[in-house]
Structure 1
């Protein structure tokens, strides 16, 4: 045996520094000799920090055999290294591999920041190949789900209520419930001139109907005629269905005093720069999407750190981050009237915006990635030493 190593098995790692996938992998690579196993691309910055990074590919065969590859690689690596532990993320395939390896004597840490059900929920509108892949995921996840409670450590960065659906008590000794976070150093503070028009509303993320875009457009159309002028910037990829809705609104809306701009995909660093002159942040997730009801949206932490008053859907996750009326405004999912009133209130009342800005910046201090990562590493060492 030579060095002690860690296996970090995931689906992919994007170069977006405030995401859980980037922060987890980077913190672990900084602390341990880490081998990253991934199906898709791994951010070059993280790959450079690892001992070795292997991306197996995203074709049908690679998807099918990915759990087998993880298991085989761990056994091959054990011939020359002591495997300290196996760290798997939230996908059904990596969880199943971790559960199987634990049965064979390896320490397993299950790190869940998105609902594993994302990879198993069937949709008849999807292609046959996609449905076959999800059916396979359902099979492997059924095994992982039965074994999840036996993991040496469960890192759960979703609203704790969801854990009970997996037969795990949130207060179990092997569970650490946490949130996502933010690195304040890479989020510029908003320096918007609040007394100028148009006021600038910003949304960052995939531009889809499930992210509340249609509700937003209807709210803009419903605003009183004397509402201050607004410019709404949607920063992210726009799917075809949502693009059609935006185009139709632009052509047909009776109240088009307010401008809606779509930018398409923007690199994370540039997206953060767009926050520097924003007045209001938007996060209007539909709770009909199960994961959105329990997630801690990264964009909300970024808005807090930037000091931007945020209008956000009330969910099990966001209620634990924002204090309604103090560090943001919570609205009911899909409520055009609630979104309209929240926008109108913030647009008209500079004093309310200033108060929420001050509170938001203080609130962000409770969710720094530095503190979250330190606690993560402490807990990892407690179960692996």
Structure 2
């Protein structure tokens, strides 16, 4: 029996998003589903079984995207006339509910705990954050309980949504097994560390630059987009910027090459409520590349790192402590190499997409 037509749609993510395209959509296509992905952005060099469609939307600011781009994405997705719709942005909740009322099976993929994330949004005046967070949570709960299912990215977010919708599952954003590479020899690398992902104040870029200034022989491989142009200009004006290799947004192959040349992977996000219970993909990708991790000393992250002996936890607000942790690893290569091996083994045994995708398959089969 042919499996049904499936349409994933997003207004905020690029079509080659690692979770949406490389993991969920490709896995479903390999399982035999007829998969479409609608994005507001054009697709480049995405040749595979997933049919990528873009809306040709104009480049807009955040408010314009929420008001207009979302509707364009919805209309394009609706025109595909799929049996199952799977959307990835909270700004699309109203359209997910519309599709459900039209008799479609609809899945909300909650990548983040958005009400807690709102509390750290720099562009929302601080005096309004609590009110907006509470109002959004009520609205998100209202829509979510009326959809067919909810997919979330961490067990912590699942604990919240399972109270609202019994059809909630966690599908963690762990690395793809087919991207596992042979780790580069420690001795073949230079004194370089890396940070990959979104670059913002709450993700610790200021503290990371201050740390770099304390270690004169160290270089930083930095990949990702800045949250805004003002921050980008500010960071690039810092004294330590001349020891940064900045790549901007990179594809999967270039990302893997960054891991190969780096001795340590940094994931020192600041302690916001959303970060403290998250499972950042960058941490697990560092582990899969066989490099030790230096991460924020949040209880959940400490449990992962200490139980797998794959890195060091540190106060992310303290550049001196971060610099000391980096220097200790660079000065003790045997210990650092052992941490890298342990992290890679943990990925092979438990933190990988091969395990997580089975949860997604089971959910789709039930729908």
**2:85·2:107 contact (CA, 8 Å) conserved in 1?**
yes
Q: Greater CA radius of gyration, 1 or 2? A: 1
Structure 1 residues 158 and 341, CA gap change in structure 2 (3 angstroms)? same
Q: Which residue of 2 aligns with 1:244?
A: 234
Matches within 5 A, 1:1-385: 4-11=4-11, 14=14, 18-30=18-30, 31-42=32-43, 44-45=45-46, 49-51=49-51, 53-55=53-55, 57-58=57-58, 59=60, 63-65=66-68, 78=81, 83-89=82-88, 91-117=89-115, 143-161=139-157, 163-164=159-160, 168-169=162-163, 173-194=166-187, 198-222=190-214, 229-237=217-225, 239-245=229-235, 247-250=237-240, 260-265=243-248, 267-268=250-251, 269-288=253-272, 290-315=273-298, 318-319=301-302, 321-323=304-306, 326-365=309-348, 366-382=350-366, 384=367
**1:56·1:62 contact (CA, 8 Å) conserved in 2?**
no
Unaligned runs of at least 5 residues, structure 2: none
Structure 1 residues 116 and 125, CA gap change in structure 2 (3 angstroms)? closer
Deviates more, 1:277-286 or 1:153-162: 153-162
**In 2, Cα distance between the equivalents of 1:62 and 1:345?**
45
**In 1, Cα distance between the equivalents of 2:74 and 2:265?**
43
Q: Which residue of 2 aligns with 1:255?
A: none
RMSD in angstroms over aligned alpha carbons? 3.9
Structure 1 residues 190 and 150, CA gap change in structure 2 (3 angstroms)? same
TM-score w.r.t. length of structure 1: 0.75
TM-score w.r.t. length of structure 2: 0.78
Q: Which residue of 2 aligns with 1:256?
A: none
- Measured after TM superposition, the shift of residue 250 of structure 1 is 3.5
**2:107·2:149 contact (CA, 8 Å) conserved in 1?**
yes
**2:120·2:202 contact (CA, 8 Å) conserved in 1?**
no
**In 1, Cα distance between the equivalents of 2:211 and 2:65?**
44
**1:20·1:180 contact (CA, 8 Å) conserved in 2?**
no
SS of 1:189's equivalent in the other structure is coil
**In 1, Cα distance between the equivalents of 2:3 and 2:258?**
44
**In 2, Cα distance between the equivalents of 1:151 and 1:65?**
23
Structure 1 residues 74 and 10, CA gap change in structure 2 (3 angstroms)? closer
- Measured after TM superposition, the shift of residue 312 of structure 1 is 0.9
**In 2, Cα distance between the equivalents of 1:187 and 1:24?**
18
**In 1, Cα distance between the equivalents of 2:246 and 2:186?**
22
**2:35·2:50 contact (CA, 8 Å) conserved in 1?**
yes
Q: Deviations over 1:119-170 (max 9, x none)?
A: 977968589xxx9xxx9x9988854431313433221103515753x6x439
- Measured after TM superposition, the shift of residue 334 of structure 1 is 1.2
Report the count of equivalent residues.
353
